[in-house]
Structure 1
Amino acid sequence: MGQNDTTAIEVTGATFLVPSAVARLGSEILGTFILVFGGVGTALFAANFPDKSNALGVGFLGVALAFGLAVVAGAYAVGNISGGHFNPAVTVGVAVAGRLPWKDVPGYVVAQVFGGALATSLLAVIAAGGPAGFFSTARAGGFASNGFGEHSPAGFGLGSALLVEFILTAVFLIVILGVTAKGATAGFGGLAIGLTLTLIHLISIPVTNTSVNPARSIATAIYGDSWAFGQLWVFILAPIAGAVVGALTYKFIFSSRTP
């Protein structure tokens, strides 16, 4: 990082370099961009390439891996600067756990939503240059948005959507807090988090197309059909509630561990 990207602080006689607010927010923008561009881009362009009958398409497994790999890439690239949240639910959960000042939460969330929206905006430009009708078909299909009922990939209802998003986000937070705690095996946190996100997608793509991340859901709803915004509240409320419960559960069970 450049000289203006850090702030020097002195604690008990030792000097530490803390990334500046600009560096941290820029990291969250970039990390969320990588996550959404990689995961949603795979869902849009490669999941059924060129159609559902062609074996070249990566399918659910490929999309799940894309989201997981994107988190791994972002975590190792800029996670040391901002903490590598890339997800408003994670930011709220980390704040509940006492690992992020609440005053930093709004800036992180705005950065994440912006990074996700930038990613889908560029994906929309790419889609517009595709074969005739590709962009309109992608929009009509929701532009990889999350949904329930008739907009669930396998037709799961509202109750199932709320429950799976809540449970999986809670589990995600517990894993994140565990692998980033003091005393955890160093150097493997990003890999564990990325593989957990892959597992989450393998479970829930058929149910909701997998959110566990309000920034990802907002980003795709921008270019999806009108139903995507109508159902968006589920994919903001359930992940945030799950993150809060996950953080509180972790604190209760592992309260003897130093955060």
Structure 2
Amino acid sequence: MNIRALAAETFGTFMLMSSILGSAFYSFGAPSGAAGILGVAFCIGITVMVTAFAIGHVSGGHYNPAVTLGLVAGGRFEFGPAILYIIAQLVGACAACGIFSLVGHTSPTFAANGYGDLSMLKATLGQVFILETVLTAFFLVVIMGVTRANHPSMMAPIAIGLALTAIHIMSIPISNTSVNPARSFGPAVYAGGEPLSQVWVFFVAPILGGIIGGLFGRWLLED
């Protein structure tokens, strides 16, 4: 395993998690006016786009266990390295949470994902599970489509970043948007309590969606 690939996955996930926490913690309460859901969504999408441009060639720019496993299901990645990728992603997410815990001005839930009282719209477990599964599947189809052999490779980060932006606009009010188990794991660990008790949903639903999207994308895009 290329250690630089693992370092890239750790750093990329660190920056993705940082974009989520920074925009969630600080932009909503900015004295000059809240950036709101659109500001958060675009911050996240832009961060993924620029890190994919900068270091995506080193590791593939997954930054997400559901993406890694979805690409395994889609025949684009080997299962063996996937385990190390997932560990690197979880470490990157937790490291970002550690930095923001030092900076302070965080919320009690640490921007965790959830349903019920942890959802802006008080969505149910079933509603959250369905949306997280569907949107992660959509994300994987986009990734597989824009990274296929006959697609202009330099356009892929733009499409992936915009897809993630759209996903956040659609689902922040329902689940605070996960589609990424690493993104959910870090805040749940730091928040504890109810967010930690619900974190299993944000492993199962995104991974299920990633596998579905990987398999569907493989069938749909196969030459």
Q: Deviations over 1:62-84 (max 9, x none)?
A: 11111101101210111001000
The answer (yes or no) to whether the contact 2:75–2:218 under 8 Å persists in 1 is no
SS of structure 1 residue aligned to 2:191: coil
SS of structure 2 residue aligned to 1:156: coil
Alignment match, 1:195: 162
- Aligned equivalents of 1:232, 1:25: Cα separation in 2: 24
Q: Greater CA deviation, 21-30 or 223-232?
A: 223-232
Matched, 1:227 2:194: yes
Q: Deviations over 1:84-138 (max 9, x none)?
A: 00000000011111111111011000000000100010011001xxxxxx44xx1
Q: Alignment partner for residue 62 of structure 1, among 39, 45, 49?
A: 39
Cα RMSD between the aligned structures? 1.1
TM-score normalised by the chain length of structure 2: 0.97
Within a 5 Å distance, the mapping from 1:172-251 to structure 2 comes to: 172-251=139-218
TM-score normalised by the chain length of structure 1: 0.84
Q: Alignment partner for residue 109 of structure 1, among 68, 74, 86?
A: 86
SS of structure 1 residue aligned to 2:222: coil
Within a 5 Å distance, the mapping from 1:1-259 to structure 2 comes to: 21-50=2-31, 56-127=33-104, 134-135=105-106, 138-139=107-108, 142-256=109-223
Q: Deviations over 1:178-206 (max 9, x none)?
A: 00000112311001100000000000000
Structure 1 stretches of 5 or more lacking a match?
A: 1-19, 128-133
The answer (yes or no) to whether the contact 2:178–2:184 under 8 Å persists in 1 is yes
Which structure carries more strand by proportion?
1
Using CA pairs under 8 Å that are at least 6 residues apart, name the structure with larger relative contact order, 1 or 2. 2
- Aligned equivalents of 2:146, 2:219: Cα separation in 1: 17
Bigger CA radius of gyration: 1
- Aligned equivalents of 2:78, 2:200: Cα separation in 1: 26
- Percent of pairs identical after alignment? 39
- Aligned equivalents of 1:98, 1:90: Cα separation in 2: 12
- Aligned equivalents of 1:186, 1:249: Cα separation in 2: 21
Which structure carries more helix by proportion?
2
SS of structure 2 residue aligned to 1:153: coil
